[in-house]
């Protein structure tokens, strides 16, 4: 579904991505872990079409991807770490606006909008202006609008920001259900428990390169002599890598 080969990006001459490569299957959930400045957000923004990359190749569902290719971008949805919303729209209007951009049929969008307002527990805010929303409710809105269009590739940057624990648990189920329908999901997070609970594979990125990846069990088998949990694996992997560069 997604092939990234030798992806490169620099900011003012400083490398942010150094030959990042990643291949994902349809329906796969991939958790991207790494310290601040490692390249997680840059990777997602390039895939979302918000940044141009300097080198490397991206293929989405067998089609070479360019950030100005509207046909391919219509199959991608993105939830950023710093959400942008239109404050003078109601939550319902916000979802309709986004659905219009993706040409989601009216009958189909109503059913899905009703579902998300109820499932993510913010039905009471449906007719309220987005400017009155809390940070957590805005996050629910962004997740809803992204899934409303039924993307083939779903990108999320710190998706549980400001989400309360009860809805966070339902969100994890929603991710699993969405992937089971064939959507490929990549999310960047510092919440290791989220990666551990829902990811089919986990990648650790440091200094613009994925230094290790695999299923949780595969990664833990590589961490012989450690306590056998993701926290310790992540810590030792990052520290050992940074000590060699």
Q: What are 71-125's pLDDT values in tens digits?
A: 899 999 999 998 889 999 999 999 999 999 999 999 889 999 999 999 999 999 9
Residue 223 is predicted with a pLDDT of 64
- What contacts 191, CB < 8 A, 6 or more positions away? 158, 160
The predicted model gives 14-33 an average pLDDT of 97
Question: May I ask the CATH class of domain 2-83+152-242?
Answer: alpha beta
Q: Whole-angstrom Cα distance, residue 158 to residue 178? A: 18
pLDDT tens digits for range 119-157: 999 999 999 999 999 999 999 999 999 999 999 999 999
In this structure, of 10-14, 22-26, 45-49, 81-85, the range with the lowest mean pLDDT score is: 81-85
Residue 193 C-beta-side C-alpha neighbours within 13 Å: 5
The model's confidence at residue 242, banded by pLDDT at 50, 70 and 90, is confident
Query: Coil, strand, or helix at residue 94?
Result: helix
Domain boundaries, the chain: 2-83+152-242
Question: 199 or 218, which is more confident?
Answer: 199
Instruction: Compute the mean pLDDT over every residue in the chain, rounded to the nearest whole number.
Output: 93
Query: Coil, strand, or helix at residue 78?
Result: strand
Residue 68 is predicted with a pLDDT of 86
Residue 227 is predicted with a pLDDT of 55
Structure token digits, residue 14: 């400083």
């Amino acid at each position: 579904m997604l092939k990234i080969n030798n992806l490169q990006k620099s900011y003012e001459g400083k490398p942010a991505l150094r030959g990042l490569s990643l291949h994902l299957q349809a329906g796969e959930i991939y958790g991207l872990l790494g310290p601040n400045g490692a390249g997680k957000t840059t990777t997602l923004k390039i895939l979302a079409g918000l940044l141009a990359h300097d080198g490397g190749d991206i293929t989405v569902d067998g089609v070479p991807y360019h950030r100005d290719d509207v046909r391919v971008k219509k199959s991608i949805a993105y939830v950023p770490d710093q959400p942008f919303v239109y404050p003078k729209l109601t939550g319902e209007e916000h979802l309709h606006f986004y659905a219009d951009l993706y040409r989601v049929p009216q009958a189909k969008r109503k059913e899905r909008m009703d579902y998300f307002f109820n499932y993510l527990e913010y039905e009471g805010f449906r007719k309220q202006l987005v400017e009155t929303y809390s940070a957590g409710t805005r996050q629910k809105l962004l997740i809803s609008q992204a899934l409303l269009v039924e993307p083939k590739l779903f990108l999320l940057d710190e998706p549980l920001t400001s989400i309360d624990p009860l809805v966070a648990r339902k969100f994890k189920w929603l991710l699993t259900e969405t992937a089971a329908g064939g959507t490929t999901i990549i999310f960047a997070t510092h919440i290791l428990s989220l990666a551990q609970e829902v990811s089919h594979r986990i990648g650790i990125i440091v200094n613009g390169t994925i230094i290790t990846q695999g299923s949780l069990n595969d990664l833990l088998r590589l961490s012989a002599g450690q306590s056998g949990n993701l926290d310790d694996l992540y810590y030792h992997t990052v520290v050992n890598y940074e000590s060699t560069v």
